[in-house]
Amino acid sequence: MYLDKILAKHREIAQADDRDLEALITESMSTPAPRGFAARLRVNSANNLAVIAEIKRRSPSRGSLNSDLDPSSIALSYEQGGASCLSVLTDAEFFGGSVSDLQQARTSVNLPVLRKDFTVSRHDICDTRIMGADCVLLIAAALSKSELSDFFRFSIELGLDALVEVHDETELTLAIENGATLIGVNQRDLHTFEVDHQRAVRMAAMMPANVLRVAESGVKTRDDARSLRDAGYDAVLVGESLVTSNDISNSVRQLLV
């Protein structure tokens, strides 16, 4: 299973990380203030579906997508197309990403950035702010209940927004109980990597009014975007269909329904 293999590797790395946490906290808090990832989505989604455009070189399920992409030029194309925020893969082994990809993209545009990775420790959260990201990803399926609660509170204490990713009603309930107000419903099963388009539609109605609703994975067409907007979503996170497009800016514009 993809998720189990990926998590095993990330937890192995985290276990070997002996850096002093207090020093990391001090370093992270001395960096420039995050740029308001959720706030940007909240403003932009008032007019149309907001797009979080992802910089993604490859995936475990599909292999190479755009392995030679230039993060700066892709980020500029996303901004010109009307994207509200960026998502950048920093996992190297499974997705071909890097901290450098995130930093190049971040400095090229004025869009807030989500660090797309598998967060399994407080060290990871500190690193997210230190590298210049504005939002951290917390995947409910990858964490215990206590980890999700602890990492969510810690992220907020560090000034980061936290996108809590869920896959079913049980995880959604847990996210809401922890006070999450930025929730992503991944339409892709992280064990099989198959996409279920009804997953997001089914779960949208369960979210409180104050929650920013983000649909993730499997969004390719204007019709996909419209159906999610109609279901109550504020934003979509889109990667594969954008990085493989021949006209990236126009592909983003097509999603602004």
**Active site members:** 54, 56, 116, 165, 186, 216-217
- Cβ-count burial 55-92 (b if 16+ within 10 Å, e if not): bbbbbeeeeebbeebebbebbbbbbebbbbbbbbbbbe
Query: Which residue shows structure tokens 């104050």?
Result: 210
Q: State how far the Cα of 143 lies from the Cα of 137, in Å rounded to an integer.
A: 11
Q: Which two tokens stand for residue 105?
A: 């993209």
Q: How many helices and strands (H and E) does the chain possess?
A: 12, 10
Q: State how far the Cα of 167 lies from the Cα of 24, in Å rounded to an integer.
A: 31
